[in-house]
Amino acid sequence: MDSGDFFSLARAVHVLGVVLWIGGVAFVTTILLPSLMKITDSENRLNLFEALEGKFAFQARIVTVITGLSGYYMLEVMNAWERYQHIQFWWMHLMTFIWFIFTLVLFVLEPLVLHRLFRKQAIKNSDQAFALIHRMHKILLTLSLLAVFGAVAGAHGFQF
């Protein structure tokens, strides 16, 4: 395989990672959380959320690493670091920001702080805790979809 083949493979892996990661975020945001919020037994709601979200968090950790590594590889091969200095590549800034936020949450904040904090708040006031986490997921999903849209259009030459 030549370097062009590796680049194509890296792009395919990158896109697959994004599909699994952001698709999972979309599922959690639009299906899982609204469904859980309809459960009246707050203990059952919390236990089910932790069981399901925990499985997705494992998948998300793997695909964010793969997505980050493949994105880094593509930047290196293209020698495209200077794009971060130009506003027309805003989607690259947003992609990187989204990746950074999710990586920070998945690898640092969630295991060290957020899991305990959310659990404590959900026991205290389940409706309020789930409303807050749903709102945060909506914001992250919206930004993620905007990044995906911008990246696909921008990578194919569309100038915003």
102-124 mean pLDDT: 96
Phi, psi of 124 (to 5 degrees): -70, -50
| Rg, Å, the chain Cα set | 18
Structural domain of 86 = 3-155
| DSSP for 129-160, written as a single string | HHHHHHHHHHHHHHHHHHHHHHHHHHHTT---
80-92 residue pLDDT tens: 999 999 999 999 9
Q: What is the pTM of this model?
A: 0.92
Report if residue 160 sits inside a domain.
no
Number of domains in the chain: 1
